[in-house]
């Protein structure tokens, strides 16, 4: 299992050293609410200086990315409105691909998958939550790579990407340039580790504390 080894922040290359770090979270009909809202909360809560929390913004700027500008209906009926579409989305530093029941439909939409693949190719880091991994897998992005997903969706991921190396024993994988996480709340764990990936463990831990959420010290599951 992966453990925290240092507190050093990631060295951003010269093409990605400007703040804020631009994050795009993909949304679509029947996307899982917490797959979107969990990472959104983490990135919006993060601060580089806790003493200036009330007056300094997050180092991340989060955009909801939709295929079309129309609102989408998430699992449970929550309405989400995209900030941008694939056609007008600015360059991203990080792309989040969530899961949800809608992935069972989107996985057969070749145009949608191609647009994801195109965006991934232009993005420094990509991360999936839950069955979002199956979308990446069907797009051909997980061949021979380690990945995980919701425990009920291991077969779904295997069918989407027979060559993927499925990790059934972890809550998230951190192998650049594509990170993956298990289902629902695991997206929060992954997002916190992404904060640390960019800015060091101290900032990740402080973000978790502000949320009153346990910082993921390792990738192991919280349940048996």
Helix (H, G, I), strand (E, B) or coil at 160: helix
Query: Active-site residues: which are they?
Result: 130
Helix (H, G, I), strand (E, B) or coil at 73: strand
Of 5, 15, 28, 12, the residue nearest 122 (C-alpha): 15
Q: Which two tokens stand for residue 99?
A: 């899961």
15, 202, 207 from 199: Cα distances, Å: 16, 8, 11
* End-to-end Cα distance, the chain: 15
User: Among all chains, which residue has been given the structure tokens 């929550």?
Assistant: 78
What angle is formed at CA 138 by the lines to CA 125 and CA 118, rounded to 5 degrees? 45
Alpha carbon 89 to chain centroid distance? 17
What Rg value do the Cα atoms of the chain yield, rounded? 16
């Amino acid at each position: 299992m992966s453990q925290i080894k240092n507190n050093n922040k990631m060295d951003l290359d010269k093409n990605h050293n400007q703040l804020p770090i631009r994050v795009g979270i993909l949304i679509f009909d029947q996307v899982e609410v917490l797959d979107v809202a969990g990472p959104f909360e983490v990135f919006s809560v993060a601060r580089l200086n806790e003493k200036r929390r009330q007056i300094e913004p997050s180092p991340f700027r989060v955009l909801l990315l939709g295929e079309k500008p129309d609102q989408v209906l998430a699992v449970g009926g929550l309405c989400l409105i995209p900030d941008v579409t694939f056609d007008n989305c600015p360059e991203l530093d990080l792309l989040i691909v969530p899961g949800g029941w809608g992935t069972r439909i989107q996985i057969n939409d070749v145009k949608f998958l191609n647009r994801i693949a195109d965006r991934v190719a232009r993005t420094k880091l990509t991360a999936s939550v839950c069955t979002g991994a199956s979308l990446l897998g069907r797009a051909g992005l997980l061949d021979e790579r380690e990945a995980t997903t919701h425990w009920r969706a291991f077969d779904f991921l295997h069918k989407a990407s027979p060559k993927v190396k499925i990790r059934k024993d972890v809550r998230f994988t951190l192998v650049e340039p594509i990170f993956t996480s298990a289902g629902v709340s695991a997206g929060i764990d992954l997002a916190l580790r992404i904060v640390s990936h960019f800015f060091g463990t101290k900032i990740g831990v402080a973000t978790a504390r502000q949320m009153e959420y346990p910082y993921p010290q390792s990738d192991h599951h919280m349940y048996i």
